[in-house]
C-alpha cells in the first residue's frame, strides 16, 4: 500500500482541461502525493494562493482568461516563495525557457510522462523541505561551542546569542546560496561578512561595495563593468566588481537602498549566475558568492513596494540577524577592555583604570550606534586621559548630546501612553509610588546614586535627601 502525503500545505494544479487535471491527480496519488487542489479557471489562482497554504504550483502555459505566462509573473512577484512548474507543448519551448528566466522552478513538455512528472514534482517538494530544514537548523543551533573561534575573535563576544550565531555561520558559510545580514548600524555586519568569507573556502578575494548612493547606471558600471566606447567617457574596457570578486565573495552593503531597476539586474545575476558588461551583448559567467547586508526593515520596504519580494526571497535563503549591544550587555566589559587596550596603544598612553560606575552606566544606555559608538566613546575618553582613573566626563557629555539625558534605557523615551504600567487597585499613594521608583532605580544602578539619579531624571543631591527620608521611615 502506497503511503500518502499528509501535510497542511497543498500542491495547486492549474489547467483549463478538467480531464487533464484528473489525470495529473491520479498520477500523483499513485506516488503517495494527495495534498492536491485542482483548478480549471486561471482567474481563481491568486485567490487560492491567498487563502490556502500552497507549496507548489503546476501551471499549464496555454489557458483562456489568464495565460500561464502571465500567471507566472503574478506568482513570482506576489508569492515568490512558491515554486512553479510549467507544463508546455512542443511548440512552446521558447516560451518555457523564457518562463525559466522569469522565475519558474522547472518545466515539463507534453505529453507528460508519468515518471518524469513525479520526479519533477518530488524535486520541487524536496527543495521546499531543504529550505524548511535550513530554518529549523538555524533555530536549533544553540550550542555555544565554536569550531573556529579565531575567525570571530574581532567580535570580542561571550554572549550566548552571538556564539549561537557563530555556530550557525560555520554551518552555512560554504553554501553557494546568497547570505543576508541584518541588524542595526554599528553591530558588525561587515565583520560578519568577512568571517563568512574566511570560512567559505573561497580562494578569491573579499570585495565590499556600499550600494547607498549608487544610481542605476553607477550600479551597473560598478558591478558589471563596461566595454570600450559603451558611453562617452568609456575610453577603455573595464571589468566590474563581479569580475574582481571571481572565486571569492562580493559584499553588497546597504542592500535596502538598492534602486528598483538595479534590483531587477541583481535578481537576474543571482538567478542566472551571468551578466552583461555595459555595451556588450556577450554574457559572462559570474563565479562569486554574494553576501548582502542592511540595517533597514526589508519587510516594510516590500509592503511599500520599495523592495522586490522575489529578490528578498532569493537573498534570504540564509538570514543572519546580528543583535544590538543592548541585547548582549554581558559583552560590554569585554569590549571596553578591548577598546581601552587599542586606544592606549594608538595614543601611546598607559591603559587607564576604569571606574565601576562606567559599567553600570553603559549597561543602561541604549547604544543607537552599537559597538561602533562604544568604540568612539572609549577612544574619546582615552584621548583626553591624563593619569589615574578614567574620567566619566566625556561619557556624560556624549549622553547629553545624543539623548539629552545621562541614561537612556530604551530607544523610546517613556510616556504615559507607552509605559505599559498596570497600577494596583486601590491606587497606591504618591509617597509609596515614589519609594518604589527610587528602590527600583537603585536596583538597576547597582546601588550607585549617580547612575540612579540619572535614571530618575533628578540630581544626585535630591536623590540622597529622598533616600535619607526613606531610611528614617
Residue that finishes a domain, picked among 95, 110, 132: 132
Residue that finishes a domain, picked among 323, 355, 372: 323
User: Are residues 434 and 305 located together in one domain of the fold?
Assistant: no
Please report whether residue 365 resides in a domain. Answer: no
Q: Which residue has the higher pLDDT, 248 or 415?
A: 248
Cis peptide bond prior to 111, omega within 30° of 0: yes
Cis peptide bond prior to 469, omega within 30° of 0: no
Please report whether residue 360 resides in a domain. Answer: no
How many structural domains comprise the chain? 3
CATH number for 442: 1.10.10.60
Mean pLDDT, residues 264-277 taken together? 90
Residue 316: closest CA among 335, 293, 333: 293
Residue 334: closest CA among 155, 156, 146, 164: 156
At residue 323, the pLDDT reads 95
Using CA atoms, how far residue 216 sits from 10, 268, 282, 296, in Å, is 40, 15, 20, 20
Tens of pLDDT, residues 360-414: 888 888 888 999 999 999 999 999 888 888 888 888 877 766 654 444 433 344 4
User: Are residues 263 and 305 located together in one domain of the fold?
Assistant: yes
At residue 427, the pLDDT reads 78
User: Are residues 164 and 299 located together in one domain of the fold?
Assistant: yes
**Position 140 confidence tier, pLDDT thresholds 50, 70, 90:** low
Query: Rounded CA gap, 63 and 36, in Å?
Result: 20
The 3-state secondary structure of 223-250, one letter per residue: HHEECCCCCCCCCCCEECHHHHCCCCEE
User: Are residues 199 and 299 located together in one domain of the fold?
Assistant: yes
Q: Is the pLDDT of residue 288 over 70?
A: yes
Q: Is the pLDDT of residue 302 over 90?
A: yes
H or E, element range at 285: strand 283-285
User: Are residues 302 and 444 located together in one domain of the fold?
Assistant: no
State the DSSP string of 312-380. HHHHTTEEEEPPPGGG-GGGHHHHHHHHHHHHHHHHT-PPPBPPHHHHHHHHT---TTHHHHHHHHHHH
User: Are residues 211 and 286 located together in one domain of the fold?
Assistant: yes
Q: Is the pLDDT of residue 451 over 80?
A: no
Please report whether residue 60 resides in a domain. Answer: yes
User: Are residues 103 and 168 located together in one domain of the fold?
Assistant: no
Q: Is the pLDDT of residue 473 over 80?
A: no
At residue 405, the pLDDT reads 42
- 23 φ, ψ to 5°? -65, -45
Mean pLDDT for the chain? 85
Please report whether residue 339 resides in a domain. Answer: no
CATH number for 30: 3.40.50.2300
Task: Measure the N-to-C terminal CA separation of the chain; round to a whole number of Å.
Answer: 81
Mean pLDDT, residues 127-150 taken together? 70
User: Are residues 128 and 146 located together in one domain of the fold?
Assistant: no
**Position 136 confidence tier, pLDDT thresholds 50, 70, 90:** low
At residue 400, the pLDDT reads 66
At residue 166, the pLDDT reads 92
User: Are residues 179 and 304 located together in one domain of the fold?
Assistant: yes
Kindly give the pairing relationship between strand 274-276 and strand 238-239: unpaired
At residue 417, the pLDDT reads 46
User: Are residues 184 and 103 located together in one domain of the fold?
Assistant: no
At residue 387, the pLDDT reads 83
Please report whether residue 337 resides in a domain. Answer: no
Please report whether residue 209 resides in a domain. Answer: yes
Tens of pLDDT, residues 147-194: 899 999 999 998 989 998 999 999 889 888 899 999 999 999 999 999
Q: Is the pLDDT of residue 280 over 70?
A: yes
At residue 227, the pLDDT reads 84
Radius of gyration of the CA atoms of the chain, in A: 29
Mean pLDDT, residues 299-322 taken together? 92
Tens of pLDDT, residues 100-118: 888 888 888 888 888 889 9
CATH number for 175: 3.40.50.300
Residue that finishes a domain, picked among 109, 132, 155: 132
User: Are residues 168 and 279 located together in one domain of the fold?
Assistant: yes
Mean pLDDT, residues 316-322 taken together? 92
User: Are residues 297 and 181 located together in one domain of the fold?
Assistant: yes
Please report whether residue 283 resides in a domain. Answer: yes
Q: Is the pLDDT of residue 196 over 90?
A: yes
- pTM equals 0.69
At residue 143, the pLDDT reads 54
Q: Can you give the residue range of the structural domain that contains 286?
A: 141-323
What whole-number percentage of the chain has pLDDT above 70? 90
Please report whether residue 1 resides in a domain. Answer: no
Amino acid at each position: 500500500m502506497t503511503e500518502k502525503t499528509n501535510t497542511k500545505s497543498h500542491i495547486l494544479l492549474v489547467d483549463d482541461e478538467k480531464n487533464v487535471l484528473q489525470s495529473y491527480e491520479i498520477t500523483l496519488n499513485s506516488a503517495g502525493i494527495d495534498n492536491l487542489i485542482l483548478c480549471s479557471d486561471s482567474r481563481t489562482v491568486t485567490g487560492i494562493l491567498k487563502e490556502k497554504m500552497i507549496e507548489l504550483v503546476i501551471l499549464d502555459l496555454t489557458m483562456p482568461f489568464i495565460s500561464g505566462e502571465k500567471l507566472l509573473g503574478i506568482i513570482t512577484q506576489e508569492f515568490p516563495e512558491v515554486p512553479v512548474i510549467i507544463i508546455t507543448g512542443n511548440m512552446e519551448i521558447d516560451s518555457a525557457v523564457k518562463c525559466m528566466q522569469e522565475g519558474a522552478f522547472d518545466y515539463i513538455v507534453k505529453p507528460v510522462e508519468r515518471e518524469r512528472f513525479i520526479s519533477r514534482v518530488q524535486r520541487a517538494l524536496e527543495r521546499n523541505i531543504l529550505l524548511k530544514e535550513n530554518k529549523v537548523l538555524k533555530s536549533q543551533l544553540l550550542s555555544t561551542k565554536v569550531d573556529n573561534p579565531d575567525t570571530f575573535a574581532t567580535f570580542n563576544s561571550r554572549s550566548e546569542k552571538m556564539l549561537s550565531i557563530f555556530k550557525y555561520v560555520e554551518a552555512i558559510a560554504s553554501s553557494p546560496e546568497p547570505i543576508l545580514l541584518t541588524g542595526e548600524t554599528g553591530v558588525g555586519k561587515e565583520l560578519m561578512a568577512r568571517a563568512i568569507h574566511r570560512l567559505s573556502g573561497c580562494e578569491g578575494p573579499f570585495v565590499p561595495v556600499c550600494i547607498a548612493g549608487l544610481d542605476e547606471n553607477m550600479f551597473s558600471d560598478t558591478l558589471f563593468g563596461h566595454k570600450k566606447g559603451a558611453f562617452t567617457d568609456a575610453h577603455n574596457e573595464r571589468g566590474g566588481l563581479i569580475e574582481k570578486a571571481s572565486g571569492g565573495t562580493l559584499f553588497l552593503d546597504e542592500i535596502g537602498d538598492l534602486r528598483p531597476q538595479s534590483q531587477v539586474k541583481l535578481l537576474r545575476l543571482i538567478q542566472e549566475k551571468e551578466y552583461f558588461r555595459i555595451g556588450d551583448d556577450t554574457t559572462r559567467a559570474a563565479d562569486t558568492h554574494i553576501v548582502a547586508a542592511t540595517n533597514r526593515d526589508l519587510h516594510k520596504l516590500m509592503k511599500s513596494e520599495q523592495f522586490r519580494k522575489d529578490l528578498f526571497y532569493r537573498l534570504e535563503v540564509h538570514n543572519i540577524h546580528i543583535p544590538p549591544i543592548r541585547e548582549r550587555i554581558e559583552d560590554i566589559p569585554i569590549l571596553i577592555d578591548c577598546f581601552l587596550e587599542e586606544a592606549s596603544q594608538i595614543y601611546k598612553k598607559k591603559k587607564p583604570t576604569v571606574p565601576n560606575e562606567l559599567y553600570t552606566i553603559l549597561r543602561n544606555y541604549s547604544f543607537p550606534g552599537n559597538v561602533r559608538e562604544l568604540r568612539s566613546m572609549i577612544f574619546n575618553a582615552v584621548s583626553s586621559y591624563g593619569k589615574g582613573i578614567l574620567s566619566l566626563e566625556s561619557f556624560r557629555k556624549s549622553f547629553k548630546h545624543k539623548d539629552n539625558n545621562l541614561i537612556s534605557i530604551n530607544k523610546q523615551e517613556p510616556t504615559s501612553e507607552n509605559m505599559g504600567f498596570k497600577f494596583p487597585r486601590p491606587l497606591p499613594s504618591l509617597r509609596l509610588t515614589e519609594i518604589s521608583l527610587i528602590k527600583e532605580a537603585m536596583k538597576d544602578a547597582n546601588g550607585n546614586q549617580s547612575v540612579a539619579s540619572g535614571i530618575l531624571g533628578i540630581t544626585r543631591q535630591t536623590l540622597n535627601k529622598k533616600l535619607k527620608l526613606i531610611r528614617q521611615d
